[in-house]
């Protein structure tokens, strides 16, 4: 017993000392950072390098870490919410002369780039400049750049415009070699529910190829149409040059074809910015990043009446969630808090999700239904609002989406691995079981499902799909047979979803908020975000800081290959019936 208390005391003392050390370090860093004040001087230029994975809203711990210089001083981790707020505020800030976009790539979806373009165009209406430069520019960066005034690349650089593609990783051959069988149950006629195809096919099915072709053509048409409107280059000519990679390997072609405005070195760009900002050639430009500007930008004055903005971001799972995962408990609590807050007069839920657990989706939907009964509940779809993401959205009073939002995917599936041969024959493990009931060992990976178990699962999945289509029929005022015809797991762009009756209007988060204000008869209001984010100190105290930074490290090291790791992770951790849409759009 003496030894027990000895070790317990030592453990508690160690934890206490660690806590004190962390607090001292944090206080020292805060003290040192306070000496480096950020000021918005006259003729300041807002600098945006968006070559990172842009979250829907700034993650509190990343914001704090950036300001405390725990990260590289050149790293900007501002979320889409702060980037847009910066652009909108800078439009009327007399000290901001313009925006300098230095873009090699943009770490977000085409749908979110559409929203950024809208705000940049609005910023230019103030008469201020937006100039873009890069040594090499990916086409998603170029798409954003075309919302500005002038575009430049390095004389030896490239403008990589080649169209869009979708790439899917198939596991069938690997699973065959390992003697692992994935037992799959899909909803009736869910031929477009391609999430399970990698388990039993080595290439796309005809149905999946059909839907992907439709999706990509719809998205690409939106992109080239916007480029045509901004730069005056015909859609036909854009496609011709994309087909033969003419722009990718010769920067002069990009200039000759009017895709860009000049071939400049960086010192020439600095000189051009000084000219546009009316800064003396001998003086330095006062540059502020998004994170820096967000730290000094005045917060909107709090008003008595509020609109809640609920961020539903990531895969839908049972239990607790975070900034990158929608947990049924966490999001339900956020919706409930917004509903019960008497100062909140309307709710906007920003959905950016490819789906996930069908059960968790239904738990969240119920909270949406309860909230909608008391106050206007508006949906703003971001990059994705598909499958489970559509499930939680369908109950809203009014649904906004961007033309290139990926939505629909009304379908469900279940997967149950059978590793009997792998365990028995590959690594020599055998198993025996004693059970009290016929199906007491249901769900074990050491034996295949019995015909009865498969039949029961098929019935359950079929019922879940029926519930899904009935839900959409009820909430959207459609016939269930029609919902089934456009469902079956098929993914649609926001533009197509509008024609099909799955969404109500094209527009971003700002339009959804405006609509919510009108629905609640509000003219003077402020916004309140949900769920509440954890601070860096909270995460340090809980010991939860490793995962987000481990993921950030993987993203930095693996680059575009990180998406393959994430796809495998998402597929392998699913449990139960899923409403999920996992595929990759390559831009």
| pLDDT tens per residue across span 206-223 | 999 999 999 999 999 999
Range with the poorest average pLDDT among 225-229, 309-313, 530-534: 530-534
The answer to the question of residue 157 being in a domain is yes
Instruction: Give me the pLDDT at residue 563, please.
Output: 57
How distant, in Å, are the alpha carbons of 132, 136, 285, 290, 344 from that of 276? 13, 23, 11, 20, 43
CA–CA gap between residue 498 and residue 185 (Å, rounded): 30
User: Is 375 in the same domain as 345?
Assistant: yes
Return the sign of the alpha-carbon dihedral for residues 281, 131, 43, 83.
Answer: negative
For residue 435, what are the contacts with CB-CB under 8 A and spacing of at least 6?
A: 441
The residue length of the chain stands at 587
Residues 443 and 549 in one domain: yes
Question: Does 320 reside within a domain?
Answer: yes
Domain span including residue 95: 44-162+245-296
pTM of the predicted structure, to 2 decimals: 0.85
Residues 256 and 346 in one domain: no
Residue 67 predicted with pLDDT over 60: no
**DSSP letter string, 511-550:** HHHHHHHHHTT-SS-EEEEESPPPPHHHHHHHT--HHHHH
pLDDT of residue 28: 44
Query: From CA 525, how far away is CA 305, in angstroms rounded?
Result: 5
Q: Which of 296, 316, 337 is the last residue of a domain?
A: 296
**C-alpha–C-alpha distance, residues 322 and 314, integer Å:** 9
Residues 519, 391, single domain; the answer is: yes
- Whether 182 is covered by a domain: the verdict is no
The closest of 484, 454, 478 to 466, measured between CA atoms, is: 484
Are 393 and 257 within one domain? no
Q: 411-463 pLDDT, tens per residue?
A: 988 888 888 898 898 889 999 999 999 999 888 888 999 999 999 999 989 99
Q: 452 φ, ψ to 5°?
A: -65, -45
Whether residues 267 and 289 fall in one domain: yes
Q: With residue 398 as reference, give the H or E element that holds it.
A: strand 398-401
Q: Tell me how crowded residue 401 is: count the other CB atoms within 10 A of its CB.
A: 30
Q: Please provide residue 166's backbone torsions phi and psi, each rounded to the nearest 5 degrees.
A: -125, 130
- Do 549 and 481 sit in the same domain of this protein? yes
Is residue 18 domain-resident? no
504 three-state secondary structure: coil
Task: Out of 233, 263, 296, pick the residue that ends a domain.
Answer: 296
Whether 262 and 371 map to the same domain: the answer is no
Q: How many domains does the chain have?
A: 2
d(CA 324, CA 552): 12
* One domain, residues 485 and 547: yes
Q: Do 277 and 319 have their domain in common?
A: no
80 and 111 Cβ atoms separated by less than 8 Å: no
Task: Say if 561 falls within a structural domain.
Answer: yes
Catalytic residue IDs: 193, 387
348 and 472 in a common domain: yes
Three-class DSSP category at 101: strand
- Residue 55 in any domain: the answer is yes
Instruction: In whole angstroms, give the CA distance from residue 583 to residue 563.
Output: 10
- 235 found inside a domain: no
Same structural domain, 277 and 317? no
Domain holding 260: CATH number? Answer: 3.90.226.10
Task: Report the relative pairing of strands 584-586 and 491-493 from DSSP bridges.
Answer: unpaired
Is residue 151 in a domain? yes
Per the structure block, which two tokens stand in for 483? Answer: 């919902």
Q: Which two tokens stand for residue 382?
A: 């971001």
The predicted-structure confidence for 338-369, as pLDDT tens digits, reads as follows 999 999 999 999 999 999 999 999 999 999 99
- What does the pLDDT look like over 129-171, one tens digit per residue? 999 999 999 999 999 999 999 999 999 999 999 999 988 888 8
């Amino acid at each position: 017993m003496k030894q027990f208390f000895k070790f317990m005391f030592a453990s508690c003392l160690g934890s206490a000392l660690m806590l004190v050390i962390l607090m001292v370090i944090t206080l020292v860093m805060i003290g040192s950072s306070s000496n480096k004040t950020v000021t918005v001087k006259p003729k300041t230029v807002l600098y945006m390098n968006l070559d990172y994975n842009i979250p829907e809203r700034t993650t509190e711990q990343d914001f704090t870490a950036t300001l405390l210089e725990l990260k590289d001083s050149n790293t900007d981790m501002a979320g889409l919410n702060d980037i847009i707020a910066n652009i909108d505020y800078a439009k009327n800030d007399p000290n901001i002369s313009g925006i300098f976009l230095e873009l090699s790539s943009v770490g977000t979806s085409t749908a979110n780039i559409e929203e950024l373009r809208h705000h940049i165009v609005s910023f230019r209406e103030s008469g201020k400049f937006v100039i873009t430069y890069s040594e090499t520019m990916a086409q998603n960066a170029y798409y954003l750049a075309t919302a500005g005034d002038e575009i430049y690349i390095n004389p030896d650089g490239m403008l990589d415009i080649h169209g869009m593609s979708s790439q899917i990783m198939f596991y069938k051959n690997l699973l065959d070699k390992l003697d692992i069988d994935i037992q799959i149950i899909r909803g009736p006629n869910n031929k477009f529910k391609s999430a399970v195809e990698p388990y039993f096919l080595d290439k796309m099915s005809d149905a999946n190829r059909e839907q992907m072709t439709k999706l990509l053509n719809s998205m690409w048409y939106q992109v080239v149409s916007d480029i045509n409107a901004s730069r005056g280059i015909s859609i036909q000519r854009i496609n011709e040059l994309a087909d033969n990679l003419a722009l990718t390997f010769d920067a002069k072609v990009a200039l000759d074809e009017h895709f860009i405005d000049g071939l400049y070195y960086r010192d020439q760009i600095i000189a051009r910015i000084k000219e546009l900002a009316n800064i003396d050639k001998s003086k330095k430009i006062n540059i502020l990043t998004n994170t820096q500007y967000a730290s000094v930008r005045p917060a909107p004055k709090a008003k008595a009446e509020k609109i809640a903005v609920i961020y539903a971001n990531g895969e839908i799972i049972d239990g607790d969630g975070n900034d990158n995962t929608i947990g049924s408990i966490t999001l339900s609590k956020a919706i409930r808090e917004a509903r019960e807050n008497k100062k909140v007069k309307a709710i906007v839920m920003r959905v950016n999700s490819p789906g996930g657990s069908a059960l968790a989706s239904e738990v969240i939907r119920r909270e949406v239904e309860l909230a909608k009964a008391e106050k206007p509940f508006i949906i703003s779809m971001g990059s994705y609002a598909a499958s489970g993401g559509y499930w939680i959205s369908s109950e809203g009073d009014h649904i906004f989406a961007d033309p290139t939002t990926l939505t629909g995917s009304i379908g469900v599936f279940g997967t149950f691995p059978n590793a009997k041969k792998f365990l028995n024959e590959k690594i020599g493990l055998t198993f025996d079981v004693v059970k009290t009931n016929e199906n007491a060992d249901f769900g074990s990976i050491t034996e295949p499902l019995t015909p009865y178990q498969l039949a029961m699962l098929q019935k359950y999945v079929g019922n879940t799909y029926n519930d899904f289509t009935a839900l959409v029929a009820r909430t959207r005022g459609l016939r269930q047979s029609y919902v089934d015809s456009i469902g079956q797991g098929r993914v649609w762009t926001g533009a197509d979803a509008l024609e099909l009756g799955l969404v109500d209007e094209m527009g971003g988060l700002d339009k959804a908020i405006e609509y919510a204000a009108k629905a609640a008869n509000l003219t003077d209001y402020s916004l309140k975000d949900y769920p509440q984010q954890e601070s860096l100190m909270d995460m340090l105290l809980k010991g939860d800081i490793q995962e987000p930074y481990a993921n950030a490290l993987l993203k930095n090291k693996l680059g575009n290959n990180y998406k393959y790791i994430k796809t495998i992770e998402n597929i392998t951790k699913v449990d139960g019936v899923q409403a999920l849409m996992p595929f990759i759009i390559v831009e």
